Amino acid sequence: MILEKGHQVANWLIILVIGICLLTLSGYYFLRLFNYLGSDSSTGPIFIESFVIPVIPMLLGAYCLYMSLKTGTRLRVTYGDNKSKHFPLANVQKEGQIDSLVQVLEESSSFSTIFKNGL
């Protein structure tokens, strides 16, 4: 069992790639829209939806970037054939109870060693 700093979500790399793709798509759509508005050949009405449509992927992409890059304290439990699970401890850290958690885990007879890496 190891207390460490790390990513708070599983599959953070996939979420990061999705966020970058959404932001790229939104940026491309904005560039095409502004290019259309700046050209002299733009005729006909321009609907408000054409401005709102790229905002949704932009906000979703920004949220994906934020969540994928968010780091904090987590508990890594290794079991079986080198399998491990990660449990984010953001709420425990906000309440200032990391030391209490470490003390409880150290006193438990079923756990052998706890490392505090970078905390």
Higher pLDDT, 76 or 119: 76
Q: Can you give the pTM of this predicted structure?
A: 0.72
pLDDT in tens, 30-65: 998 888 877 776 667 777 888 888 999 999 999 999
Residue 3's pLDDT band (cuts 50, 70, 90): confident
Long-range contacts of the stretch 100-106 (C-beta < 8 A, 24+): 101/3, 102/3, 105/1
Q: What is the rounded average pLDDT for all residues in the chain?
A: 81
Domain boundaries, the chain: 2-7+71-116, 12-69
